[in-house]
Structure 1
Amino acid sequence: MKSSDVRVPKIEMDDIETVNDNSFTEENCAIVTGAASGIGRATAIALAANGLTVVGTDVDTNGLREMKQKATELDLDGSVETVQADLTVDDELREIVKTANSSGQIKYLANIAGLQHIDPIDEFPPEKFDLMYQVMVRAPFYLSQLVIPHIAESDTGKGCIGNMSSVHGHYVTSDKVGYNTSKFAIRGLTQSIAAEGNGDIRSFSISTGYVSTPLVVDQIPDTAKSRDITEQEVVEDVMLGQSRNTDMMDPIDVGNLFVIGFSDLASHLNGGDLLFDGGMTSTYQL
């Protein structure tokens, strides 16, 4: 795959998996962070396609507007609302949950928002590390803390929290200390929620290799510069070099995993991690 071939694909109805689940109704609400683009956008649309009321949130107002327009074009069974919010501000996190609670019974939370920065540890800006921790660890923790009582007070007292991890929550690559650390931490949060959920409030994480999202596409030039290699070498050697698959996942592929993880099909998925990495972490080149 050439670097020029890496594009963020469009979402079509045929790409979305639907599940027959009695809890997937407009009376029930799912919160999705990072909903303006990439995996967050795909997950918000996939959940709404499965009949849920979705409250998508992001700091990117234009991206949220585009996501809602796409949902309208697809004529989904569920509905989509948006809340512009900064995940580093507690008052805005509380506003997200308040909006969701007024939209339906909060049953699901998908913590997906993320960001990347590439630098070796001795040059990594501490303020950038702090920001990444705030968005990818503390915000998921606080949102989980806020929604758990709402799930417990819902009609069945059951629900689920899904967290976006990564292959970098299993093993690390250089120059990504903020991302690596955050993705290991989110798996710890996932297991902590499961430990305290008594089987009624489940939690799971999803770990993928490289997905065709703006986050991935935008980091190709920086990775090439930091490693003094070409952008093509970044795609072929760094991103896909250890994978047995020779293409990246699409964002909707990951959105579909959140649909399955939230559904009754995954009733025994609790504290576990869905590792969809093309063999990246468990195989090696002979």
Structure 2
Amino acid sequence: MSDDFDLTAPELTPEDLLVLDDLHFDADSVALVTGAASGIGQATAVALAANGLTVVGADIDGDGLADTAATIDDFDLPGPYHPVETDLTDDSDVDAVVAAAADEGDLRYVANIAGMQHIAPIAAFPMDKYDLLTDIMLRAPFYTAKKAIPHIQATADGVGAIANMSSIHGQYATQAKPAYITAKHGITGLTRAIAAEGEGTLRGFSVSVGYVLTPLMVDQIQDTAAERGISEQAVVEDVMLGQARTKAMMTPAEVANLFVFGFSSHAGHLNGADLLFDGGYTHTYA
């Protein structure tokens, strides 16, 4: 890490995006992306638009959704984009955004990406934060899948996929992130349940990555530094990347490209499983 330590998230460019030829990657197919106002969700919405899909972006942050629209316009991408302000803790809002997605064409893909973080040990963890975090990151993906599955199954061939944002913290636990860890372990079960019921054409998969430089991660770095009484640079170098073999944080675009691949026909055997891209963090050690 250089002396001019910088926590700024990288700027997305069209060259960052994976574009694939696929039978269902066109404007007739709809992808619903939650958390589309920033970070990984925003990059995923942009990447799917780059692949020609109609994208419905859901987020509580209307200004961020507008930023996503501006990026898609600036890049002159082929896929239409429709932002829908959505409170994922409100079932009626989820009903509305799924219905809006289905109205745009064949709803085939759902990317459950919206997330949050709160740093505190179990004994001191505020229950209102626990409830909010698990509502957004576990209950909302379940309810979104519940409402989307009938639409996917109603397409002519029933082909589609529901992808859930997991994490290395869905693989194991570290201190002071108990609600996040609980939600990410739970999302593994939801992913497998979707695959079990999908009859092979509707797939479920999750995406697990290491540390990604997003606005959420910047906040987490700052909170962890305060919790542990160390510098932000020490959090990144020692706490976050100390165990990894690849000594760099991922970019949102790199994660978005995993969703693109996972939704494509190239990933037809990715079902009930996890795409783990963590730089060796989970399964190696020094």
TM-score, with length taken from structure 1? 0.98
Say if 2:78 is the partner of 1:77.
Answer: yes
* Superposed displacement of residue 7, structure 1: 1.9
Following TM superposition, by how much is the alpha carbon of 1:246 offset from its aligned partner in structure 2, in angstroms? 1.0
- One-letter code of the match for 2:261? I
TM alignment of 1:264-283, pairs within 5 A:
264-283=265-284
SS in 2 for 1:242: coil
Equivalent in the alignment of 1:65: 66
Paired position in structure 2 for 1:118: 119
Q: Deviations over 1:112-154 (max 9, x none)?
A: 0000000011100011001011000000000001010000111
Please list the CA deviations of residues 225-250 of structure 1 after superposition, one character each: whole Å capped at 9, or x if unmatched: 11121111101011111001111110
The one-letter amino acid paired with 1:266 is A
Give CA-to-partner distance per residue, 1:65-116, whole Å, 9 cap, x none.
0110000000111111100010000000000011101111100000000000
CA distance in 2, matches of 1:232, 1:101: 45
**Following the alignment from structure 2 to structure 1, what is the Cα–Cα distance between the partners of residues 231 and 168?**
23
- Residue 263 of structure 1, CA deviation: 0.2
Aligned-pair CA distance for 1:271 = 0.4
| Equivalent residue letter for 1:204 | F
Q: Offset of 1:4 from its aligned partner?
A: 3.1
Amino acid at match of 1:21: D
1:131-170 matches, cutoff 5 A: 131-170=132-171
Structure-2 residue corresponding to 1:208: 209
Identity %: 54
- Counterparts of 1:144 and 1:205 in 2: how far apart (Å)? 13
In structure 2, what is the equivalent of residue 198 of structure 1?
199
- Give, in angstroms, the shift of residue 269 of structure 1: 0.3
Equivalent residue, structure 2, for 1:40: 41
Letter in 2 for 1:187: T
Q: Which amino acid aligns with 1:155?
A: A
In structure 1, how many angstroms separate the alpha carbons of the residues matched to 2:174 and 2:147? 33
- Structure-2 residue corresponding to 1:52: 53
Task: Detail structure 1 runs of 4+ shifted over 3 Å in the superposition.
Answer: none
Equivalent position SS for 1:5:
coil
Counterpart of 2:18 in structure 1 is 17
1:5 positional shift: 2.1
For the residues of structure 1 that align with 2:275 and 2:80, how far apart are their CA atoms?
Answer: 27
Which residue pairs with 2:175 in the alignment?
Answer: 174
Matches for 1:223-238 after TM superposition, within 5 Å:
223-238=224-239
What do you get for the CA RMSD once the two structures are aligned? 0.9
Whole-angstrom distance in 1 between the partners of 2:56 and 2:28: 13
Gap runs ≥5 in structure 2: none
Alignment match, 2:258: 257
Code of the residue aligned with 1:90 in structure 2: it is D
Amino acid aligned to 2:82: E
Partners of 1:215 and 1:173 lie apart in 2 by 18
- Once residues 156 and 47 of structure 1 are traced to their aligned partners in structure 2, the CA distance between those partners, rounded to angstroms, is 21
For 1:225 and 1:44, locate their aligned partners in 2 and report how far apart those are by CA, in whole Å: 33
Q: Deviations over 1:172-229 (max 9, x none)?
A: 1100001000000001100000011110110100000000101101111210111121
